[in-house]
Structure 1
Amino acid sequence: MSLTATNHHFLAAIFMFLWLITGKTVSGDIESDKQVVLKLKAHILLWNPVMNENTFTRWNSNDEFPCNWPGISCNTRGNHVTAIDLSNKNIQGPLFRNFSGLPELEHLNLSANGIPGTIPDDLSKFRNLRTLDLSNNIIEGEFNLTGLDNLELLDLSNNRIQGNPRLMFPARSCRNLVVLKLSSNNLSGQVDDLFNLCRNLHSLDLGGNNFSGNLSVQFGRLLEFSVPMNNLGGQIPSWFFSENCSLRRLDLSDNFFIGRIPKEISNCKDLVSLDLYGNKFSGDIPPEVGSLSSLQSLLLGENSFSRDVPESLVEMSNLSLLDLSRNSFGGDVQEIFGRLHQVKSLVLSGNSYTGGLLSSGILELQNIAELDLSDNDFSGPLPVEISQMSNLKMLVLADNQFTGSIPHGYGNLSRLQALDLSFNNLSGSIPSSFRKLSSISWLMLANNSLTGEIPAELGNCSSLVWLNLANNHLSGVIPPEFFNVGSNATTQLILLNQAESVKSSGISCSKDAFHSPCALLSRNAAGYVQLRGNRLSGALPPEISKMQNLGMLYLDDNRFSGQLPPQIGSLPLLALHVSKNMFSGEIPEEIGTLKRLQTLDLSCNNFSGEFPGSLSSLTELYKFNISYNPYIYGRIPSTGQLSTFDQSSFLGNPLLRLPIWMENGSRTSPSVLPGKAVGEQEELLDRFRFAFSFSYPFFFVLSFLGFLFLGNEKISPLKTKRKSKRRRK
């Protein structure tokens, strides 16, 4: 055999040996990682035994490699798991405690689940971890970044984490951080120079915590800095905006900053969004703001700026949203606003304007999509010129002193999604032209003096999610066509709430007045119908079953009669209020199928028959009233949710049998009388009621007088005080 052949055989043997070793190592590494992932699956299913999630059924122990399993990724060699993404899987139970068994793990995303508890102690062993996203869970306690030297993204927002971050961010561990999101937790302490050593940080969000003190942040490479809804204060120093400022988004809203805005803000040439809403800034708005040519969103509401708005704003060609609400501006609307042709959203609510709607020219701004002039002192008729603002999506004129009728032309605003004319002095009927508002989601006409019937044409508004006609003088029956309202409501509300401009204008899911429908949206029951305090009459038609998105129904203080339709039990209701009407007949057993019902008010009607036992199934109920329905008889269960209410929920019903401890005014479990069992006490009480029933006509008169008293009780206005501070979680 030649030397050359010998060398070839020798090299082949070496390659074969190395292949065997390497192959065995690769197989061993991935097998070890696979076992860790299978333990993760077992942990998840232990806490979620009824989970029906395809992700985990495909995690099969018979597979040689886990790299193709849903939510699992490996490196290019396929010998290690490098990424796990189980976001938004509805996972409950504590965090898995053995992620450190995956030595090459670089990306871990468990966001948008229901994970409680603390962050595992072995967090510091994730030496290769580059992104960690645990946002939108229920994680509490403190955390520490020690050992996570390669971390580039950390998102712990929307949890319950507490403590002082100064103890949680060692300088070495944050040197590679690019994105840090800690918003909506319970963190506290001083921000000042806390993150100045995080030299590569581009995005920092600390909003919705309890941070205090002044700001001494050196922006460096920061592109986004957000600290809204904290307790920060003091003046903003001029050096805060250095010459090399690279900020694109700055949010200091809902804090306690004072003084003037430094003119040096003009150094931040790349600013796209500036939000200083809800502070105590004063003085003039610096003209230098007008040099921020990239600025699209400028929110300066709820401060104490002077009335002089700089002319330089006219030159800001990209400015789309301007919010100067709640700055105590008075008199006529400033003329400069009529020259902001580039602006699409103009919010001037909560000032003291009295006029200038026409002379300022703001009603001629054809690009305006959102106009909020609410909570001012405008008077006279509603401007008909608004009918020509064809791009309007939101029009908010509530809380003024407008009079006269609603212009018929408002029905031509085909793109309108929200119209709020509530809390004025409007009269006349609801225009039938509103049938053309095919995109309308919010229609609020409450607390005026509107008359006539509810137009059947409103049934064409298939996107309507929030309808408030309360406290007017509307009369007649509800037409069956009306119940076509909101058939497409949920989709429209989602689209509307996702719009960034919605969150900054007067129409916002974060506002008190709009919180309820947005909360209902998550339960697929977005609809809200508020008709209380009118003169509506007749029966409630069975067509109400068409409103399959209806979550809240308020018919209080009208003149409705007849039976409640049993079809009401097919709706996803969370609130049903029909008090102070003339409903009669038996209470539908079907109400007991409304498993998510939280408030039920049937008081002050003429319901009769036996108290429906099905109401015992309403385990979510926290407010209940059936008072002053003297024809109702039967026994209120001594256990279950109904037994948690006191006597005030059952007044004026002499034929109802209450648990004995409720009769005694107690809200606790029954105290057995000496020598008498609970059953014996109930029997004695039944005998007493039998004798008492002969005096029923006398007590009926008393109940009727009570009904009259409550029926004439002054109704407090539905107006919800608008928040002075926005909470935009």
Structure 2
Amino acid sequence: MVVSPGIMANGDSNSLLSLVSFLLFILITATAVTGDSDREVLLSFKSYLQSWNPTERGKYNEWETTEKQGVCQWPGIICTPEGSRIIGINLRDSTISGPLFGNFSALTQLAFLDLSSNTIGGSIPDDLNRCHNLKHLNLSLNIIERELSFSGLSNLEVLDLSVNRIEGDVHSSFPLLCNSLIVANLSTNNFSGRIDDIFNECRYLKYVDLRYNGFSGEIWSDFRRLVKFSVSRNRLSGNISASMFRGNCTLQVLDLSGNGFAGEFPGQVSNCQNLNVLDLWGNNFTGNIPAEIGSISSLRGLYFGKNEFSRDIPETLLNLSNLVFLDLSRNNFGGELQEIFGRFTQVEYLVLYGNSYVGGLYSSNILTLPNLSRLDLSYNNFSGRLPSEISQNLTFLILAYNNFSGDIPREYGNMPRLQALDLSFNRLTGSIPSSFGKLTSLLWLMLANNSLSGEIPREIGNCTSLLWFNVANNQLSGGFHPELTKMGSNPLPTFEVNRRTMDNTISRSGECLVMRRWIPAEFPPFKFVCATFTNKSCRTLWNHVLKGKCIFPVCPAGSIVDPLDISGYLQLSGNKLSGEVPANISQMKKLSMLHLGFNEFEGKLPIEIGLLPLAFLNLTRNKFSGQIPQEIGNLSSLQNLDLSYNNFSGNFPTSLNELSEMSKFNISYNPFISGVIPSSGQLATFGKDSFLGNPLLQLPSFFIQSGNNNSSSGERDNGREEDDDGAAIDMLVFYWSTFSFYVVALMGILVLMYLDCPWCRAWLRLLDAFMASLKSMLS
């Protein structure tokens, strides 16, 4: 076929157009196919997640399987700007459990993957190593375990594996990850091995967090070029040399706390002029605190506690105009409180607990620092009267575990911002000031283990934020005034203030100590949280509690679920309180623990107590009488119930058998209670020790035959340990007083027998049963 030149030219033009069109078609088709491929991977991922999470499901469950909705509109999915490819997946906090999905590499453009705050377990699959475009990987707050092996993620910029269970050495992954890495967070795992050379090739690295692991050996010497470096709570040792701070230093946070570093800390740290936080707490540093630190004007937090520094505080530290937090606790400082502390007018948080100070409270002027918000002088040897002149700006005043004596100054009621007052374990006498009723921001009032007397002021009921009140083991008398039931009714205003103002990065020393002291670990529901107390968790818990976030499991009366809620306690045990418990105790809707044991309360227990979300109720060794309220059976979250050594009477409430959460139970020595204890159900799990001294109660036969002693009826949770001899004497006194009652009753019966009383034989049988029980106990 012959074609003319003109036609050839026109044909070339058409051919070129056809070629371009064909290439565009191929490109569009390829893109569409690739997009469809991404969609299929996501649907496979969805099916995988659903198979491991058949009930509770996250936002991935909303991914559509039809063509009506584009993949880029699916929740948690991030696409390229033109919408052709998937580049990111964010399923943070999506109730995902089970092993990690093993086909992410099929998403060939995946650059962002966040699966944090789930319960993903197992090991990290090799497939993840084939995600070569991945720049951001966050698998934190899961339960991933075994060893780490990343070799193909050379483009990674952000790596967050914190709060998992990953173990082993990290040398197989570093420096292979170092090409582009900026953030490396491996904190709160089980990593081990050395770290002194693993980051040498990481040229762009700025943020390293290795806290709460088992790393050992010496520290990486080139940390000065980072912005943040934290190796807190490892097993590192050796000295911190001056050479580590030579040259340019860009550090803003340096956290070496909780290791075994020793020797003098070098003053060359002053080369780090951008430093905000210097944390050396919990090491073996000795010598003087470097005076050069006073030139770092940006410093806001200095944590030098639990070391062996000299007690001479350099004057240059007074130049730190931005200093907010100063911690010099547990450095074996003795004698008078150093005068220099009274000149830190800029400091808001001053923590000096666990030293051996004996005086200097007045001469140092520490009590009138104008900006002071938190003062912790607990665990020292201060004595004499409590100081009455004190800053009214305080939010936390902690003077516990000293030797203070005399009255509590009424001026302590003039601190409107006060949220915690701890004067426990001193030698205080006198009454609780009624001026405390003005402390409307108060969350904690801790006065236990003193010698306070008088009544609990009715005005305390005005403390509507007061959730945690402990006056155990004093000599308080008087009644449980109805006005007191208003305490803790509305803590929200205090929590809102903390949410607005708390600086989480600064306020972080001594939290573990006060949390253990202020949250009673031996009592439910607080066991739930206290069981998880570690140095790595209590700071988070502290912030949650102060901001009103719900961390305690609370079960409202009649409920079968345990929602997390703010859970208060009332500790009045070990006093001389008397009278009846008011019926309007039902207003204390946040009360989960009520300890009234070892007092002189009397009368009937109000049925309204069954309306509280109680997990713990202890009324032992009082004079309560009348029927045990059936309504206690509504306390479905009750774990610990002690009604022993009272005068309860009437039929035993079988509704208690429905308390399936109960693990400790004691109703011993209430001899006027009658009825039958069920042979099955929760009560049958406790054994005869929970029912001693109740001759009218009919116990299941297997209690006697098997000698089942599963109960913990003799718990001593009021802080007053009793020896076995004392307990035996108490038991004999109890039996003798009860025996005397029956002797009087018997004399009356003998008189009635002359009148041929038809029910006298029943009284005689009752006396015979009691004498048999007494004989058994005395033997």
Same fold by TM-score greater than 0.5: yes
Q: 1-side partners of 2:701 and 2:181: how far apart?
A: 62
1:651-670 correspondence runs (5 A): 651-654=692-695, 655-658=697-700, 660=702, 663-665=705-707
Size of the aligned set, in residue pairs, is: 682
Partner AA of 1:500 in structure 2: N
1:237 to 229, 232, 241: 241
1:136 to 124, 137, 141: 141
1:27 to 14, 17, 32: 32
Q: Aligned pair in 2 of structure 1 residues 591, 94: CA closer, same or farther (>3 Å)?
A: farther
Q: 1-side partners of 2:224 and 2:333: how far apart?
A: 37
Give the superposition deviation at 1:508: 5.0
Q: Aligned pair in 2 of structure 1 residues 666, 315: CA closer, same or farther (>3 Å)?
A: same
Contact 1:196 1:217 in 2 (8 A): no
Give the superposition deviation at 1:556: 1.8
Q: 1-side partners of 2:78 and 2:69: how far apart?
A: 14
- Greater CA drift, 192-201 or 70-79: 192-201
Partner of 2:164: 159
Local SS of the residue matching 2:354: coil
Q: Aligned pair in 2 of structure 1 residues 18, 373: CA closer, same or farther (>3 Å)?
A: same
Contact 1:632 1:656 in 2 (8 A): no
Q: 2-side partners of 1:637 and 1:191: how far apart?
A: 62
Quote the RMSD (CA, aligned, Å): 3.1
Deviations 1:43-89 (A, max 9, x none): 33333333265663354544342212222111112122222222223
Local SS of the residue matching 1:161: strand
Q: Aligned pair in 2 of structure 1 residues 575, 440: CA closer, same or farther (>3 Å)?
A: same
Contact 1:195 1:217 in 2 (8 A): no
Matching of residue 294 in structure 1 with residue 295 in structure 2: no
Give the superposition deviation at 1:248: 1.0
TM-score for the superposition, normalised by structure 2: 0.81
Deviations 1:195-232 (A, max 9, x none): 33333221111111222222233215311111222222
Give the superposition deviation at 1:246: 1.7
Matching of residue 309 in structure 1 with residue 293 in structure 2: no
Contact 2:174 2:198 in 1 (8 A): no
Partner of 2:770: 697
Partner of 1:405: 407
Q: 1-side partners of 2:776 and 2:365: how far apart?
A: 59
Matching of residue 572 in structure 1 with residue 577 in structure 2: no
Q: 1-side partners of 2:650 and 2:124: how far apart?
A: 56
Partner of 2:737: none
1:117-136 correspondence runs (5 A): 117-136=122-141
Deviations 1:5-53 (A, max 9, x none): 7677556544543443333333322322223223333333333333265
Partner of 2:724: none
Partner of 2:48: 43
Partner of 1:209: 213
Q: Choose 1 or 2 for highest CA Rg.
A: 2
Matching of residue 342 in structure 1 with residue 415 in structure 2: no
Q: Aligned pair in 2 of structure 1 residues 40, 421: CA closer, same or farther (>3 Å)?
A: same
Contact 1:230 1:254 in 2 (8 A): yes
Query: Taking CA–CA contacts closer than 8 Å with sequence separation of 6 or more, which of the two structures ends up with the larger relative contact order?
Result: 1
Q: 2-side partners of 1:597 and 1:335: how far apart?
A: 51
1:410-429 correspondence runs (5 A): 410-429=412-431
Contact 2:404 2:426 in 1 (8 A): yes
Identical counterparts, % of pairs: 49
Matching of residue 521 in structure 1 with residue 521 in structure 2: no
Give the superposition deviation at 1:483: 1.8
Q: 2-side partners of 1:99 and 1:267: how far apart?
A: 45
Matching of residue 67 in structure 1 with residue 109 in structure 2: no
- Greater CA drift, 319-328 or 210-219: 210-219
Give the superposition deviation at 1:313: 0.4
2:384 to 373, 380, 384: 380
Deviations 1:248-293 (A, max 9, x none): 1111112222211112222222111011111221111111111221
Q: 2-side partners of 1:650 and 1:149: how far apart?
A: 68
Contact 1:31 1:64 in 2 (8 A): no
Q: 2-side partners of 1:303 and 1:337: how far apart?
A: 18
Q: Which runs of 4+ in 1 moved over 6 A?
A: 1-8, 691-694, 702-706
Contact 2:58 2:95 in 1 (8 A): no
Structure 1 unpaired stretches of 5+ = 669-690, 707-729
Partner of 1:84: 89
Contact 2:604 2:624 in 1 (8 A): yes
Give the superposition deviation at 1:527: 1.2
Q: 1-side partners of 2:576 and 2:276: how far apart?
A: 51
1:447-486 correspondence runs (5 A): 447-486=449-488
Q: 1-side partners of 2:314 and 2:439: how far apart?
A: 37
Contact 1:581 1:604 in 2 (8 A): yes
Matching of residue 551 in structure 1 with residue 592 in structure 2: yes
Q: Aligned pair in 2 of structure 1 residues 52, 155: CA closer, same or farther (>3 Å)?
A: closer
1:316-715 correspondence runs (5 A): 316-386=320-390, 389-489=391-491, 492=494, 496=498, 499-500=503-504, 503-507=507-511, 511-515=515-519, 521-522=551-552, 523-633=564-674, 642-654=683-695, 655-658=697-700, 660=702, 663-665=705-707, 695-698=768-771
Q: 2-side partners of 1:667 and 1:564: how far apart?
A: 28
Contact 2:46 2:60 in 1 (8 A): no
Deviations 1:271-318 (A, max 9, x none): 110111112211111111112211100011111111111111011111
Local SS of the residue matching 1:191: coil
- Greater CA drift, 343-352 or 107-116: 107-116
Partner of 2:544: none
Q: 2-side partners of 1:65 and 1:530: how far apart?
A: 59
Local SS of the residue matching 2:61: helix
Contact 1:72 1:81 in 2 (8 A): yes
Q: Aligned pair in 2 of structure 1 residues 58, 501: CA closer, same or farther (>3 Å)?
A: closer
Give the superposition deviation at 1:155: 1.5
Q: Aligned pair in 2 of structure 1 residues 116, 176: CA closer, same or farther (>3 Å)?
A: same
Give the superposition deviation at 1:337: 1.0
Local SS of the residue matching 2:45: helix
Partner AA of 1:525 in structure 2: I
